[in-house]
């Protein structure tokens, strides 16, 4: 046991360090993603058996700040759902904070603060990918709304983390407090989703003997 523990415990700091490094790199995408979009052709469904050359031959990580992205807005505007609307309001406030109350030089050296900021940014990107693929795979609107129920809560959680930071400015705190939102509750929709999409899977799968 002690031999295993001595070996495995070394992996934890490395894993945590990797998260911080990745978020620091991801944050370089923020300016162009929110404020400098570029039109690109739509990407169709990609599940064909073929070699992904780029995936296995990626270049260096420099120049990330020059990468451009398609406008995320159309993906969110495609859905008229309560929790998607709430999430869009959170995004608008986050974007406003980046314009008028962006982290200062000292705050940018605060790894935990920038980590929470990066977590919010990645939620916006994940939300875009989820909505784009929901169209491609014909995912029902009830499922999409349930997904954004937890997306709203996750956004609120990271906004609260940033709000609680000692170095947060009053302007930042005001906007962060507004980002803390409660998902739209619809007991009837939830019950229907649970019955038709979750409970219906009971006993569908079996473990291998």
Whether the CB-CB separation of 184 and 148 falls below 8 Å is answered with no
Asked whether the predicted pLDDT for residue 125 surpasses 50, the reply is yes
Residues 6+ apart with CB under 8 A from 2: none
Q: Is residue 206 part of a domain?
A: no
Which stretches within the chain are classed as H helix?
A: 2-8, 11-26, 30-35, 73-77, 82-100, 105-108, 111-136, 141-163, 170-179, 187-193
Q: How far out from the chain centre does Cα 35 lie? A: 18
Give the residue numbers spanning the domain of 180.
2-35+68-201
83 or 25, greater pLDDT: 83
What Rg value do the Cα atoms of the chain yield, rounded? 20
Q: Is residue 40 part of a domain?
A: no
Kind and range of the H or E element at 126?
Answer: helix 111-136
Asked whether the predicted pLDDT for residue 179 surpasses 50, the reply is yes
pLDDT in tens, 31-79: 999 999 999 998 888 888 888 887 777 667 678 889 999 999 999 999 9
Q: Is residue 52 part of a domain?
A: no
For the chain, give the mean pLDDT.
88
Q: Is residue 57 part of a domain?
A: no
Q: Is residue 207 part of a domain?
A: no
Please give the tally of structural domains in the chain: 1
Q: Is residue 190 part of a domain?
A: yes
Region of poorest pLDDT, from 109-113, 122-126, 130-134: 109-113
Separation of alpha carbons 88 and 152, rounded Å: 9
Separation of alpha carbons 119 and 113, rounded Å: 10
12 or 70, greater pLDDT: 70
Q: Is residue 53 part of a domain?
A: no
Nearest to 78 by CA among 41, 128, 120, 24: 128
pLDDT in tens, 130-165: 999 999 999 999 999 999 999 999 999 999 999 999
Q: Is residue 25 part of a domain?
A: yes
């Amino acid at each position: 046991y002690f031999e295993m523990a001595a070996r495995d415990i070394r992996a934890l700091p490395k894993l945590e360090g990797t998260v911080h490094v990745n978020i620091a790199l991801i944050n370089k995408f923020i300016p162009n993603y929110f404020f400098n979009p570029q039109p690109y052709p739509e990407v169709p469904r990609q599940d064909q058996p073929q070699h992904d050359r780029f995936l296995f031959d990626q270049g260096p990580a420099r120049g990330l700040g020059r990468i451009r992205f398609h406008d995320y807005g159309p993906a969110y505007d495609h859905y008229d759902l309560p929790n998607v609307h709430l999430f869009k309001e959170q995004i608008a406030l986050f974007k406003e904070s980046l314009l008028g109350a962006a982290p200062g030089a000292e705050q940018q050296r605060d790894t935990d603060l920038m980590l929470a900021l990066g977590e919010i940014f990645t939620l916006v990107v994940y939300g875009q990918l989820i909505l784009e693929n929901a169209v491609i795979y014909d995912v029902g609107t009830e499922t999409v709304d349930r997904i954004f129920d937890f997306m709203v809560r996750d956004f609120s959680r990271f906004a609260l983390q940033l709000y609680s930071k000692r170095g947060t400015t009053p302007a930042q705190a005001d906007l962060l407090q507004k980002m803390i939102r409660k998902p739209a509750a619809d007991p009837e929709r939830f019950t229907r989703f649970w019955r038709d999409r979750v409970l219906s899977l009971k006993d569908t799968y079996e473990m291998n003997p």
